[in-house]
Amino acid sequence: MTPDAGVLRRRVKVGDPTGLHARPCAALAKLVARARDATLKVRVRGVEADGGSILDLLGLVAAGGEELELVAEGPGAAALLDAAADVVGRPP
């Protein structure tokens, strides 16, 4: 992602106390796959994951309540960021 390409960022806490496990990771990856006009990266503790990859997201090992940075780029970045923040921040 290039800084001049309209990159949007948002910080959101993992809403599920058990952390970013398989179910929210799958929901997030599915959401990103449907967003054909935007990409998403998820960052925590200096580690970055492709928001469209379940395995990348699981590899973050994000705990419940931990703050993630969501970084979206593309024409549909704002809508993708809103939806992704809802998925990550939603309690079980």
Task: Give the chain's end-to-end CA distance (angstroms, integer).
Answer: 31
Active site residue 59: no
**pLDDT the model gives residue 5:** 57
Is 1:51 a contact under the CB 8 Å cutoff? no
Q: pLDDT (tens digit, 0 to 9) for every residue of the chain, 92 residues total? A: 444 457 999 999 999 999 999 999 999 999 999 998 999 999 999 999 999 999 999 999 999 999 999 999 999 999 999 999 999 999 98
**pLDDT the model gives residue 22:** 97
Of 6, 10, 19, 21, catalytic: 21
CATH fold of the domain at 7-89: Histidine-containing Protein; Chain: A; (3.30.1340)
Q: How far apart are CA 55 and CA 66, in angstroms?
A: 19
Q: What is the pTM of this model?
A: 0.91
